[in-house]
Amino acid sequence: MLEITRQAVAILILMLLDVSEGFNIKGKIVGMPPEVKQIQDQNFPSPLLNGINFQSRFTIELLNIQEDNVVNSKRGVLNEKYEFDFQGVDEGEYELDVISQDFLLAAEKYKVKVGDHVEISEEAVGPYPGNKTVLATEEQPLMIEFKGYKEYYERQSSSLVEMLQGSPLGFIFANKTYTIMFCVCMVIIATPYVLQWVNPELAKQLQEIQQEGASRQRETAPTKIPVAPAETKNVKNSNSNSSTRRRRGH
């Protein structure tokens, strides 16, 4: 209750402070990811001047055309909470530009109509019809949604890891379990070949053991009756045989 009273008093004071004539236009960038604040709080080192002062890297302008087609612009500034306001705006039609050097916003251009009341709607670039929906009024601030980060740089794509991850086998290397399984499989496949080089006798022994195992299996296994259509199998076999025959015939 006390907190509400305090806030009410603060609002009252702000209203008292706000003595400018004309209308007020307020806006806010919403949906800023928490890491942005974290970067600012931790005073993250940046190679740029004002690199972490993201608020100062916004260009906010309220433009209107005066007589003789002269553009009159009023500059707005963003505070810590990504809020801005223009006070004492006279009647007329304006364009509000909100451009960030770092962030992608839902829209950067807005049409502002100031008459009996304030109406703010999105402005399209070019001959396309814009969204006529009234997004904000004098009482309701314009909420501009954060959409992402602006990318300026092409990254070096010649690293082996990136190459592997970008390949069709990339999904394997994106998952740790798959990667381990893949490596184990590769080792099992490669071992007999490697053994032939490293220890041919052991490789021979292994091969004999494998052959023995295979022949025992053949002896114990029941005779399988083919279930596939005989024609298909015959065709396959005949192909295989014909190819063998062709090779031998040469």
Partner 1 sequence: MKKISCISFAAALFRCVISISLADAFKSDWIQYNHGNLSSFVAPSSDGLVALTDMNELVKVKFDQDEKVQWAVDLRGLENFDTIVTDKNEQVVYLFSKSDNVFHSYNLTNGVLLKRLVTSSPVAQVVSFFDKGVLFSCADGTLFFLDPAYNVKQLDLGFKVGHFHHSYVDGLIYLVTDEGDVRSVDIDLSAQPCSVSLQSYTSRQNKVIDFKGTTILTTNNDILTLKSENVHKVSSNFGKKDSVRLLTSNLIYTVTSGKITFYSIDNEITNELYTIKITEPFWLLTLENDSPFEGIAIKTSTGLKVLDVSDFSDSHDPTLIRSFEFETNLSNGESIFSSYSNDETLLHFISNENNGVFTRKTFNLNRGTLASDTIRVGLPYSSIESPIMIDFPAPESKLDESLHLVQTEGSLISRWLYRLKRHLSQLGRSVASFRRSGNFPRSNDDPFSFNKIVVFFDNVGRDLMAVSTKDGSSLWKCSPEIGSQRLVKILETSNGREVVAIFDRSYHTVDSTSGQLLKSESVKTEIVDALQVRTTDNNEIIALVLANDKQLLLMNANVKLLPRQYVVKQLDAQTISGYEVTETLAPTWSFKKDNEEILLISHKPKESVTSSIGIARADHTVLYKYLYPNLLSVITKVKSDGTVKFYLIDSITGELLYLHSHDDSDSLVQDSLKIVMDDNWIVYTYLTSKPKIEQRIIVLDLFADKEKASSKEVSVFNESTQINTVSKLAFNYPEVISELASTRTKQGVTLKSILFLTKSGNIYEIPKFVLNSRRVANREMTASDFQDDFRMMPYDPVINRNTYQALNHKHLLKVASDDNHILVKPTLLESTAAVCFLNKYNFFCTKVHPSLSYDTLSTYFDKVKFLITIIGLFIAYIATKSFLVKKCLNAQWIK
Give the whole-angstrom CA distance, residue 146 versus residue 161: 32
Nearer to partner 1, 20 or 211 (CB): 20
Q: Which residues contact 131 (CB under 8 A, 6 or more apart)?
A: 121, 122, 124
Question: Min. distance of Cβ 230 from partner 1 in angstroms?
Answer: 31
Determine if 80 is a binding residue for partner 1 (CB under 8 A).
yes
Residues contacting partner 1: total by CB under 8 A: 64
Does 102 contact partner 1 by CB under 8 A? Answer: yes
Comparison of 63 and 172: residue with beta carbon closer to partner 1: 63
Residue 219 C-alpha from the chain's centroid: 59
151 lies in the site for partner 1, by CB under 8 A: yes
**CB 247 → partner 1: shortest distance, Å?**
7
163 sits near partner 1 (criterion: CB under 8 A):
no
Is 46 within 8 Å of 70 (Cβ atoms)? no
Q: Check residue 133 for interaction with partner 1 (CB under 8 A).
A: no
Q: Does 126 bind partner 1 (CB under 8 A)?
A: yes
**Which one, 130 or 173, has the nearer CB to partner 1?**
130
- What does residue 120 show for φ and ψ, rounded to 5 degrees? -120, 125
101 sits near partner 1 (criterion: CB under 8 A): yes
Q: Of the candidates 99, 184, 198, 209, which one interacts with partner 1 according to CB under 8 A?
A: 99
Between CA 21 and CA 114 the distance in angstroms is: 13
Candidates 26-34, 154-162, 168-176, 199-207; binding stretch for partner 1 (CB under 8 A): 154-162
CB contact at 8 A, 83 and 69: no
Structure tokens that stand for 100 in this block? 């960030």
Sheet holding 92-100, edge to edge: 70-76, 58-66, 92-100, 109-114, 118-122, 134-136
With binding defined as CB under 8 A, does residue 14 bind partner 1? Answer: yes
Cα 185 to Cα 179: distance, rounded to the nearest angstrom? 10
In this structure, what token pair is assigned to residue 173?
């290397």
Binding mask 190-229 for partner 1 (x = CB under 8 A): ----------------------------------------
Give the E-state strand segments of 90-141 in sequence order: 92-100, 103-105, 109-114, 118-122, 134-136
**What sign has the CA pseudo-torsion 7, 8, 13, 16?**
positive
- Which residues bind to partner 1, rule: CB under 8 A? 6-7, 9-10, 13-14, 16-20, 40, 43, 47-53, 55-57, 59, 61, 63, 65, 68-71, 73-75, 77-80, 85, 87, 95, 97, 99, 101-102, 108-109, 111, 123, 125-128, 150-156, 158, 247-248, 250
